[in-house]
Chain A
Amino acid sequence: MTEAQTETKPGQRPSHPDITQRKDAWWGEPATIATVFISFIIYATYRVFENNYFESGNFLSPFYSPKLVFDWWKFSPAILILWIPAGFRTTCYYYRKAYYRSFFMTPPACAVDPYGKDGYTGETKFPFVFQNLHRYFFYLAALVLIFLWYDAVVSLFKPEGGMQLSVLSIVMFANCFFLSGYTFGCHAYRHLCGGSLDCFSSCTKAKTRFKVWEFVTKLNEHHMGWAWFSLFSVALTDLYIRQVCTGAASPIVLFQF
């Protein structure tokens, strides 16, 4: 048996002298998430302000859909739209966990001390009290999603008439699929569609809402997966369309008539 006296700073507990005793790479997850987030934000910001290469024939980038063109608006039309998915993701219950850990370090990981002075107020004060508006962003994001499905369907039609199936159209449909899984697995929607009820068997309407709630719950169990897949799919879909617009890539038409 050997002894080791712990050296503690004022206010620190002798039983917990270090920021953590964890030996695993607890910093790996927040560091990875921060890197991916920053990369996405840089790419999306560049694409918004590029204000070019977003439409080729019937292929429209998800960053610019629905395309809002007004005489009075002199800037990129993407600015008029992207605040909706950005707001939806920023107030999303999964992403909140991810960026609170990665950027605010409250906490950086479980059982790891936070960094900096303690002014923590959670989601009770400005600006984080606005996280409570998540359901409003859900309504708007669901609306945008309708336009994205419409864009995917329109991409099957050739501008000069006739139809075609291309790899790019499949990518656009896949993007809509991932975005739908993410949007309709949302915690706020899970509450609105049935979670707010205390009794699911009380009437026919409640039973129907229970069925919807059950389905949404299945999606919600994998909300993190849907969140990441849809983030990547929307960026890759935009990138593919950009490359088609610049002529660097082809939509790869599989068949047409």
Chain B
Amino acid sequence: MSEHKAKEATLKVYRGDGKEGKFETYKVPMEAGMVVLDAIHYIQANYAPELAVRWNCKAAKCGSCSAEVNGHPSLMCKTRMDHFEDGEEIVVQPIKTFPLIKDLVTDVSWNYRVNEKIKPFTPDESDTKEWVIYQEDIERVQEFRKCIECFLCQNVCHVLRDHEKKDGNEQFMGPRFLVRAAGLEMHPKDTADRLEYLKEEGHIGYCNITKCCTEVCPEEIHITDNAIIPLKERVVDEYYDPLGKMIKGIFGGGKKK
């Protein structure tokens, strides 16, 4: 234990806003079980009380403390300091995709505006009986409900991060909202159709399934395999599979409820 206390970590933290700023280097004493957010709190308490950082639960459940640690989009409260080599300089940056307010705090309100565009859960109004839902019918949706909206997937998605497809006719809804749409589309009691929205407005076609969203998800949701690709296939059913549509037209079938 005493050996841990004797060690010091070096953190290089971005200080500034979206227009100008600098990286400042701080020395932080290591404690057993310490995470990057603890180190940021130490800096706030001892060197820079004005350092802006958003956090809340410190238990990887609120999704507030998203940042980039040594270039990896991650929750600071889930990134252990003993994960780094002794003496390694730890670079802490804000997430890149959204407008920077100050230091490590970004404005993620764009996401809430995208969310409002998704048709909400729409059950059959004539279905007045008590709902009985079997586990196998809801298991896929339950995985998506684990999302804590940390927006790390939105941040790492290169369509939003590098190609800036956030506004106007080219707006891409991003992996977080494809997960939400998948949870609604696969819900056994939902009757709404979101495929036209997914293709024409959410631009699911911009996703080239390079899986970075899945790699950074702290809840380990299989975003690409279980949400985005199944939605892409549903869009194919509707828009790119004339043979399948013809067969369904002759023999019946299609979307089952």
Listed in ascending order, the chain A residues whose CB lies under 8 Å from chain B are 1-6, 13-16, 20-23, 93, 96-97, 100-101, 106-107, 110-114, 118, 120-124, 128-129, 132-136, 187-188, 190-192, 195-202, 206, 210, 220-221
User: Is A100 touching B210 in the complex (CB atoms < 8 A)?
Assistant: yes
Partner of A4, one of B24, B185, B256: B24
Please indicate the chain A residues that have their CB under 8 angstroms from the CB of B210 in the complex: 97, 100-101, 106-107, 110
Instruction: Determine if A22 and B72 form an interchain contact, defined as CB atoms under 8 angstroms apart.
Output: yes
| Pick from B68, B159, B239, B243: contact of A136, CB under 8 Å | B243
Known interface pairs A15-B100, A198-B257. Does A187 touch B225 (Cβ–Cβ under 8 Å)? yes
Q: Which of A2, A106, A124, A134 contacts B203 (CB 8 A)?
A: A124
B41 on interface, CB distance cutoff 8 Å: no
Chain B residues near A106: list those with CB within 8 A: 158, 208, 210
Which A residues lie within 8 Å of B50 (CB)?
none
Assess whether A1 is in contact with B163, with CB atoms less than 8 Å apart. no
B167 lies within 8 A of chain A by Cβ: no
For chain B, residues 51 to 97, give those with C-beta under 8 angstroms from any C-beta of chain A: 68, 70-73, 88, 91, 93-94, 96
Main secondary structure of the interface of B (DSSP, over half): mixed
What residue in chain B is nearest A200 (Cβ atoms)? B136
Among listed B108-116, B120-128, B226-234, interface-contacting one: B226-234
- B158 A114 Cβ-Cβ under 8 A: yes
Q: Which of B156, B165, B212 has the most CB of A within 10 A?
A: B212
Q: Taking the nearest CB of chain A, how far is it from the CB of B239, in angstroms? A: 8
Query: What are 21 A-B contacts defined by CB distance under 8 Å?
Result: A2-B24, A6-B21, A6-B22, A15-B100, A16-B96, A21-B70, A97-B208, A106-B208, A111-B71, A111-B73, A112-B71, A113-B162, A118-B163, A132-B239, A191-B230, A198-B186, A198-B188, A199-B137, A201-B134, A201-B136, A210-B136
Contacts of B255 in A (CB 8 A): 196, 198
Question: A198: which of B71, B73, B88, B190 is its contact (CB, 8 Å)?
Answer: B190
Instruction: Please give me the 5 A-B residue pairs with the lowest Cβ-Cβ distance, nearest first.
Output: A21-B71, A22-B71, A122-B206, A191-B233, A110-B212
- Would you call B96 and A15 a contact (CB within 8 A)? yes
**Cross-interface CB contact of A199 among B21, B24, B91, B257, cutoff 8 Å:** B257
Q: Which of B16, B26, B233, B244 contacts A1, CB < 8 Å? A: B26
| A129 proximity list for chain B (CB < 8 A) | 205
Chain B interfacial positions (CB closer than 8 Å to A):
12, 14, 16, 18-27, 47-48, 68, 70-73, 88, 91, 93-94, 96, 100, 134, 136-137, 156, 158-159, 161-163, 165, 185-188, 190, 203, 205-212, 215-216, 224-225, 229-230, 232-237, 239-241, 243-244, 255-257
Q: Contacts A198-B187, A220-B225 given; indicate if A13 touches B208 (C-beta within 8 A).
A: no
| B71 contacts A20, C-beta separation under 8 Å | yes
Beyond the given A15-B94, A93-B209, could you list 4 further A-B residue pairs with CB under 8 A, ordered by the A residue number?
Answer: A15-B96, A22-B72, A114-B163, A122-B206
* B22→A97 contact, CB < 8 A: no
Indicate which residue in A14, A97, A111 contacts B211 across the interface (CB closer than 8 Å). Answer: A97
The one of A1, A21, A133, A220 that contacts B68, using a Cβ cutoff of 8 Å: A21
CB-CB < 8 A to A113: which residues of B? Answer: 162
